[in-house]
Chains A and B, each alone.
Chain A
């Protein structure tokens, strides 16, 4: 079963003890394609992804999945339909096989199904030779490919990616983008990135965040066409600006 998943955020605000991480965010996500979230460091991109993937609860506001307001009872079952690849290469201190099989074992899938899915995803991402290797023995690029394999093996309906290609070499970058594009043909990918060129290569839509505020959203061309000073400066390469200077 491939269910269509559309998501909406209504007035999402997230406060940490002394920080306003997100401020009244409203966004709509179509059922497929690559939706990118861009903005300077500390803009709230990771927090937004964690709220979308139901890892964090917003302080205020609502999340809708297929027009249904997500309540506490739905969070765990919905989370099983999403997966997320984290920004820093996060993994269980074990080998590649154990990392990829974790989510399948949690779901109590039959062992034949587990073996088949692992083999398929390892082939797909060119990791078959590394199956028994410890994660600590891998390069950063290989680790990130394992992270993507660990997500894809679960056949999620939505894939969240937090700067998945940061610090990757061109070869690993190409593999990751190829897989993201392939997945997005039928399902939704929400991805944060710093890389404007990458947005041009793979994104369908883009949202620009700065200091927890949604500055603009639309098709990828908005970045170049925007009149907003913050977006102009970001596109010009001043990635470390402060909103106070605007």
Chain B
């Protein structure tokens, strides 16, 4: 009973912490949005051209490439974190860039993590667009590239799902943020690493507050994307 009372009171304290504008909570939340948002944009930049190539071109091994991206959806973040740690560490092949334990390192790691989501969801969205749409655009004077952009716009609803899914995966992962970022206070500490740290330290109220912020962040991004879909993509 005491345990339940403690949990409930922690929830109240957590909400108080959030709505009182606690600078510690706000700082971590903004850093998480910045890092995962940037990672999502990076994944978008790489993922959409790959998805367009897979969807619109016929080539040998196309199904194998799609399969590789599909199985990469479930890639364990700790494994990826370890691989990147070995790459980015001082003695590793990319050690000279000094991006281990920096936000840039986390951004790169999360981008690599979510590119398969971006590609797989986008391929699915683009393949559901009527293939004749590209021919329609071409008969109206579009070049091959412009026709592909027309098909991309037709598949925008599915691609918006890819963006939301990628951001959600990036912002809620722990392995990369912990192993590549190092959870340095005020520098690489994000929502998930804070939850892990505060729980380990027995600061349940703080953990619950941060967990609620994480859920609100995910919900907020979903709401914004839904509004964009409703207003612009009809």
The answer to whether B139 and A82 have CB atoms under 8 Å apart is yes
Q: Are B140 and A106 in contact (CB under 8 A)?
A: yes
CB contact under 8 A between A92 and B139, given known A86-B132, A106-B146, A134-B234: no
Q: Are A50 and B135 in contact (CB under 8 A)?
A: yes
Whether the Cβ atoms of A80 and B130 lie closer than 8 Å is: no
A90 touches B133 (CB 8 A): yes
The CA of A50 and the CA of B132, in the complex, are separated in Å by 11
In the complex, what residues of A have CB within 8 A of residue B133's CB? 90, 92
A83 at the B interface (CB under 8 A): yes
Instruction: Tally chain A residues at the interface, Cβ within 8 Å.
Output: 25
- Beyond A86-B132, A92-B154, A134-B234, whether A76 also contacts B143 by CB under 8 A is yes
A86 contacts B136, C-beta separation under 8 Å? yes
- Which residues from 154 to 194 on chain A have a C-beta closer than 8 Å to any C-beta of chain B? 154, 160
Answer whether residue A36 sits at the interface, using C-beta atoms and an 8 A cutoff. no
B135 touches A154 (CB 8 A): no
Question: A55 near B135 (CB under 8 angstroms)?
Answer: yes
Contacts A92-B150, A134-B234 known; A83 to B139 CB distance under 8 Å?
A: yes
How many CB-defined contacts (below 8 Å) exist between A and B? Answer: 50
- Measured between beta carbons, the chain A residues less than 8 angstroms from B153 are 92
Q: In the bound complex, how far is the Cα of B233 from the Cα of A134, in angstroms?
A: 12
Q: Tell me if A102 is interfacial: C-beta within 8 Å of chain B.
A: yes
**Interface code A85-98, partner B: CB below 8 Å = 1, 0 otherwise?**
01010111110000
Cβ of A103 under 8 Å from chain B: yes
CA of A50 to CA of B134, assembled, Å: 13
Q: Is B52 an interface residue (CB 8 A)?
A: no
> Does A84 belong to the interface (CB within 8 Å)?
yes
Are the C-beta atoms of A107 and B141 separated by less than 8 Å?
A: yes
Nearest CB of chain B from residue A129's CB, rounded to whole Å? 20
Q: Does B86 contact A (CB under 8 A)?
A: no
* Assembly CA distance A106 to B146 (angstroms): 8
For A50, give the chain B residue with the smallest CB separation.
Answer: B135
A45 at interface (Cβ–Cβ under 8 A)?
A: no
- Chosen A-B contacts, 24 in total, with CB atoms closer than 8 Å, are A53-B139, A55-B135, A55-B138, A55-B139, A79-B138, A80-B141, A82-B139, A83-B139, A83-B140, A84-B135, A86-B132, A90-B130, A90-B133, A92-B136, A92-B150, A93-B154, A103-B140, A103-B141, A106-B137, A106-B141, A106-B142, A107-B141, A151-B139, A154-B140
Residues of A participating in the B interface, judged by any CB pair closer than 8 Å: 50, 53, 55, 76, 79-80, 82-84, 86, 88, 90-94, 102-103, 106-107, 134, 150-151, 154, 160
